[in-house]
Structure 1
Amino acid sequence: MKILNLALLIGYLSFFIASTAAEEVKLNDSLSLHYQQAGSGDTTIIFIPGWMMSTEVFEHQLAHFKDSHKYRALAYDPRGQGKSSKPVEGHTYQQHARDLALLIEKLELENIILAGWSYGVTEQLAYLNQFGSNNIKAMIMIDTGPDIAGASRDEWVWYLNDDSDGYSRWFTEGIIEDRDTVISEFVKWMLENPTAENVAWISNIANQTSSSVAAITNATGFYLDYSKDLIALEGKIPMLYVVRDEVKEVADKWIKANTPSATTAYMGKHMMFWERPDEFNAVIDQFLKDMETK
């Protein structure tokens, strides 16, 4: 019986490893990126994690595509995050985009759907800004718009230009001065169900990124506005926005005014793709199905 159980365990682990492969690609002498991929097909959906996050948060999406022969799902850890290299320099989203371009080149990826979450949206738009859309088949933006800071909360932004609410400062100076509190409160805010177990798991991911890297990426992200780049795609390629419920009004206003042909879905809180995987993955599946029929 013990031998049979061991054989079953080995078989299960072999299947899991084969269906969701964790790998590393060396971009240059100082930088290697950790990534996981699942499924196969001519189209690759690249999931890009947000601030201090890693490939791990997309576990439900990788599992969802593991048996697909149409789509390959790939998620990676940006430099300084997760299991990727931790170089001293290069912690801007413009550089992250150049890293993404090298990743695409090294892995010889074509027919790409970029799917960024949070600051991962900024990263994919920085890629669009620098490398164009020739290799992009579609864009999926998860809970972030193209502009990071604005004049008021009536705009779809994270921060205020004058930082009168101290929100930007809290994520730059705060992450250095009081790291544990910032991470804990940020993680709780992201979740609909902030149980001790969930908070601990996501906090552990955040703790793989140093405070200085977190502060720099947040501070430099503050100045970025890729609205023109995103608006220029209107009517040219399929776009999907999946946005948390609490900002539906401002997000919907911007989307309808600037990219009206885009598909939209509103659900949950900031980590809806992890907390509501069935609902989120169904939206992705429908978006892909609609692309195939056009």
Structure 2
Amino acid sequence: MGITIFKSIIKNPYQKLFLMTLFKRAIYVLMLFLGIHVHAQGKHITVDQGKVSLYYEDEGKGQPIIFIPGWTMTSQFFSKQKEHFKENYRCITYDPRSHGQSTKTPKGNTYLTHAKDLNQLIQKLELTNVVLVGWSSGCATIYEYVKLYGLGNLNRLIFIDEPPKWVGDTKTEWVYGSFDDYRGSLKDLISDRHGTAEGTVKWMLKKNTDSVETKWMVNQMLMTPNDVAVSLYLDGLVSDYSDVLKNIDGKLPLLFLLRDSWNDSAFDWIGKNVPTAKIEKISSHAMFWEDANRFNKVLESFLKEKN
């Protein structure tokens, strides 16, 4: 009887499509759990006088786009963008030092050093007219890069859901929170790294993610050592890139992808200080993962706009 029912389901094209989709989803989640990266063609490149090896994936041809992950995140979070953009662009994702599969180092765990590493990656891959896409704290790497090397080799910049500074007056500024807000989160990070990672994953996703996928994301974050996570957290906490961002305005195309939950603070600040920038609303901090199709369409539309 079970076989008869199965055959009747297969004959229905819509149910067959559903089963195929469900099967593909199960396989994909299993591969995430096992740490298998679909279509990944990872390589390593040395920076910092050969002291550090950066893991990166480089696929496609055309204008180069580099995706920069956020705090303790990895290149694998951008797997859905790589599969999409490699068709028409040279799509590059990488793990910053002490993240993912890159070398773990006791020194240089600041966004300034990340910017220097990024520059060496760009130079060694002989990239020109580069598009940089920073997610969360990956935006700090972009700001530090611009401070050090200027805009000469850049085509446009995309900032995913990140203010130019973390700490300030939430009533009058575009910031994540006050210092009092961060005092508790910093203590939690020091005392319970795993719990902090789980909390971060839940915060950055709008949809209910299955436990296997959530566990995969947490494990990706935990590939960054605890002391490095604290170092980068503190670096972000005390940094203010407001003036850097203001000085970029009008010099090349800028796109901010921002959550609705910022309310008016982000949109007001950008309108006043970076008036030439374009703003697109996104549903969550990690919408590029949750709703990749929509995210990719928004990003691709911006990439096709003329300078």
TM-score, with normalisation over the residues of structure 2? Answer: 0.83
CA offset at residue 38 of structure 1? 2.1
Q: For structure 1, which segment, 20-29 or 201-210, has the greater mean C-alpha deviation from structure 2 after superposition?
A: 20-29
Match of residue 257 from structure 1:
272
Question: Does structure 2 conserve the Cα–Cα contact (< 8 Å) formed by 1:148 and 1:159?
Answer: yes
Question: Could you tell me how far apart the structure 2 residues matched to 1:169 and 1:95 are?
Answer: 27
Match of residue 114 from structure 1:
132
- 3-state SS of 2:305 partner: helix
Q: Which amino acid aligns with 1:181?
A: G
- 3-state SS of 1:229 partner: helix
Alignment counterpart, residue 64 of structure 1, candidates 84, 87, 103: 84
Q: Which amino acid aligns with 1:99?
A: D
Question: Does structure 1 conserve the Cα–Cα contact (< 8 Å) formed by 2:54 and 2:94?
Answer: yes
Distance 1:88-1:138 versus aligned 2 partners, 3 A rule:
same
Matched, 1:211 2:232: no
- 3-state SS of 1:137 partner: strand
Match of residue 266 from structure 1:
281
Greater Rg by CA:
2
- 3-state SS of 2:255 partner: strand
CA offset at residue 194 of structure 1? 3.5
Match of residue 55 from structure 1:
75
Question: Could you tell me how far apart the structure 2 residues matched to 1:154 and 1:97 are?
Answer: 30
Match of residue 59 from structure 2:
38
Q: For structure 1, which segment, 208-217 or 149-158, has the greater mean C-alpha deviation from structure 2 after superposition?
A: 149-158
Matched, 1:280 2:298: no
* 1:98-119 Cα distance to aligned partner (Å, 9 max, x none): 1111111111111011110000
Question: Could you tell me how far apart the structure 1 residues matched to 2:59 and 2:172 are?
Answer: 39
Question: Does structure 1 conserve the Cα–Cα contact (< 8 Å) formed by 2:169 and 2:175?
Answer: no
Question: Does structure 2 conserve the Cα–Cα contact (< 8 Å) formed by 1:20 and 1:62?
Answer: no
Match of residue 8 from structure 1:
none
- 3-state SS of 2:248 partner: coil
Match of residue 192 from structure 1:
206
Distance 1:90-1:173 versus aligned 2 partners, 3 A rule:
farther
Question: Could you tell me how far apart the structure 2 residues matched to 1:179 and 1:19 are?
Answer: 31
Question: Could you tell me how far apart the structure 2 residues matched to 1:153 and 1:287 are?
Answer: 31
CA offset at residue 263 of structure 1? 1.3
Matched, 1:131 2:157: no
Alignment counterpart, residue 85 of structure 1, candidates 103, 114, 135: 103
CA offset at residue 29 of structure 1? 2.8
* 1:67-114 Cα distance to aligned partner (Å, 9 max, x none): 21xx21111111110100001101111111111111111111110111
Distance 1:74-1:243 versus aligned 2 partners, 3 A rule:
same
Task: Give unmatched runs, 5+ long, in structure 1.
Answer: 1-16
Q: Which amino acid aligns with 1:59?
A: S
Alignment counterpart, residue 222 of structure 1, candidates 221, 226, 237: 237
CA offset at residue 18 of structure 1? 11
Distance 1:168-1:270 versus aligned 2 partners, 3 A rule:
farther
Q: For structure 1, which segment, 111-120 or 256-265, has the greater mean C-alpha deviation from structure 2 after superposition?
A: 256-265
Matched, 1:73 2:91: yes
* 1:166-216 Cα distance to aligned partner (Å, 9 max, x none): x3542x332231112111111111111242233112101111011110001
> How many corresponding residue pairs?
269
Percent identity between matched residues is 38
Question: Does structure 2 conserve the Cα–Cα contact (< 8 Å) formed by 1:241 and 1:264?
Answer: yes
Matched, 1:182 2:196: yes
Alignment counterpart, residue 180 of structure 2, candidates 164, 171, 174: 164
Q: Which amino acid aligns with 2:61?
A: S
Alignment counterpart, residue 147 of structure 1, candidates 149, 152, 165: 165
TM-score, with normalisation over the residues of structure 1? Answer: 0.87
Question: Could you tell me how far apart the structure 1 residues matched to 2:183 and 2:123 are?
Answer: 34
Q: Which amino acid aligns with 1:47?
A: F
Question: Does structure 2 conserve the Cα–Cα contact (< 8 Å) formed by 1:20 and 1:63?
Answer: no
What RMSD in Å do the two structures reach over aligned CA positions? 1.7
Question: Could you tell me how far apart the structure 1 residues matched to 2:84 and 2:171 are?
Answer: 35
